[in-house]
Each structure stands twice: as C-alpha cells, then as structure tokens.
Amino acid sequence: MAHGHKSNEKVVYVGDSRVRKSGPMIPPDYSAFPGKSEVFIPNFLLKEWMVGCVALVGVLVLVMQEAAPLGYPADPTNTTFIPMPDWYFLFLYQFLKYPYVSGDTLKIFIGSIIIPGIMFGGLMLAPFLDTGKERRFYKRPIASAFMFVTLIACIHLTVVSWMHYQKELTDKNIIPEHIKREHEMEEAKKAGGGGGAAPKPAAGAQIVAQDDKGYEIYQKATCINCHAKDMKGVSGMPALRGIGDKHSKDEIMKIIKEGKGGMSKQYDDNIKKGLTAADIDALAEWLGKQKKQ
C-alpha cells in the first residue's frame, strides 16, 4: 500500500504495534479498502487451497524420487548400536547426561520435566512477560539476554553431544547403520545390483541340500538379515544361491571371519548368537555346496 498510492489517499497501517491506538481495539473494517479486499469464503480460502495442493503435489513428487530405505531388522542382542535422537533434540539429550539431572528419580524428574518445562513454558509466556513497547533487541536487555544465553547453550550442548557421539563411534569402531547401509547399496550397485532393487539370484540356482544341517544353521545365523532366508538377498544385497560356484568353503569361511567389501565380520556375532565354531564350519561347508545344478 505504501508503494504507488495516490498522494491524496489516506494510508492506514493495519496491525502495526508501533501505531498507538487510542480507544477500544476495534479491528479495521476492510470494506474501507474497496477493490483491495475479498471475501474469505470462498474466494480467499479457495486460493489458499490451490496453493496448498500445488505444494503438496511438489512434496509428494520429491518423496517419490527415492525409495525409502528399510533398516535392518531390530536386533536386541546388538550391543554396538548407539541410539541417538534427531539432531534438534541433541541439546536436550546432552543436557540429560549431566550428573545433576541424572541418577536418582528426583534428579531425572527435574532434568526431564521441570527444567524443560520452565524453558518451554517461559517461551510460551514470553509475550505476557515481556510487554514493553520497545521492539529493538538491544533495548530489551532481559529478554535478549535470555534468548542469547539459551541459543548459545543449545548450540554448545548440540556440538558437545555430536562430538561425544563421534568419539564413541571411533572408540568402539562402529559404523552407524545408515552409513553401513549406504556403503552396501553402493557396493551392490557396483556389483550390478541395480540400485536398491533386489539383484537376480544366479540364474536358475536353487537352494541345494535343504535337508542339511547347514540350512538349519543358516536360518539361525546373522546372514539372513542381509542375504535373506530364501538366499536371494534382502533389497540390494547379494544373493547366496549358487555361491559355491564362486567361492570354496574356505573362501566363504574367510568372508565370514574377515568380511568383504560392504559386509562386516560375522564370526563373533554368530558366536554371540549362540552358534558354535562347528556350526559355522558346517554353514560354510554347506554354502560351498551351493552350486547350480
């Protein structure tokens, strides 16, 4: 309205707190702006809906660009998994690690309910607490100081939390699951898996010797998490059908013990799962027998 208005047209500021209003707070009547207003229903609302639809379709198209990656099946025996909240909650997560808000129930209650309650409650009450007319931040020292201290504290806690997480990963030699999965996808793509889609099992290969003890062990081993019960490979992972044509028993044993490309060592994990050394030997032997007939 400030641009290009006729000089004799009266400029009316609507809803600007700098304008002191005298008298009762009566919302301005928009019929005072002929040609510059429209009815809310249906005109305005219809336009909003149309814009909303376009935005929604845009988001849908973006979402459909890439298949949603599926995580590994949850494994309660996995001790190398470090649960982490999303980045915007890292500051709260880090805060709860400090000794004065963790340990006994009262401290946990203070750390998880009372303090965040005061902080977020204060944020909600800010318009009622900070009622000064002044708009410039440097003339509102108390409110500004609270904002800066909180902001710096949040950034600091987030950074500390993230660095601690990275250190834990290097100390324990853990590759986070999503990174591992990405590597595996890359490897699978390179190996001709064709990006996420399950690679075709070796043409015509069937599971050999299903009555063997090895098949039973395979079903209990970690291998099925990635190579699937039917040995065709979970999305993007290599199939193990016909693997005997490619690797001997000893080579397979070596892959189980040392890993290969995107596959991490599996030996210890299977021992932890309750398989014995003899079981794993029988498994490798059975896999070595998986030849196309």
Binding interface with ligand HEC (CB under 6 A)? 184, 187, 191, 221-223, 225-227, 237-238, 240, 243, 246-247, 252, 255-256, 260-263, 266, 270, 287
The whole-angstrom separation of Cα 251 and Cα 245 is 11
Choose between 184 and 285: whose C-beta lies nearer to ligand HEC. 184
| Chain center to CA of 145 | 33
Task: Give the nearest residue (CB) to ligand HEC.
Answer: 261
> Min. distance of Cβ 171 from ligand HEC in angstroms?
21
Choose between 158 and 270: whose C-beta lies nearer to ligand HEC. 270
The answer to whether the beta carbons of residues 286 and 214 sit under 8 Å apart is: yes
> Min. distance of Cβ 234 from ligand HEC in angstroms?
8
> Min. distance of Cβ 84 from ligand HEC in angstroms?
20
Q: How far apart, in Å, are the Cα atoms of 24 and each of 16, 21, 29?
A: 15, 8, 14
Choose between 94 and 222: whose C-beta lies nearer to ligand HEC. 222
> Min. distance of Cβ 125 from ligand HEC in angstroms?
50
Choose between 101 and 284: whose C-beta lies nearer to ligand HEC. 284
Max distance between CA atoms of the chain, in angstroms, equals 97
Choose between 172 and 257: whose C-beta lies nearer to ligand HEC. 257
Closest CA to 189 of 261, 292, 265, 264: 261
The whole-angstrom separation of Cα 129 and Cα 268 is 60
The whole-angstrom separation of Cα 132 and Cα 139 is 10
Choose between 196 and 261: whose C-beta lies nearer to ligand HEC. 261
> Min. distance of Cβ 200 from ligand HEC in angstroms?
13
Give me 165's structure tokens.
């997480």
> Which residues are CB-contacts of 143 (< 8 A; sequence separation ≥ 6)?
126, 129, 130, 137
Give me 199's structure tokens.
């690679």
> Min. distance of Cβ 180 from ligand HEC in angstroms?
7
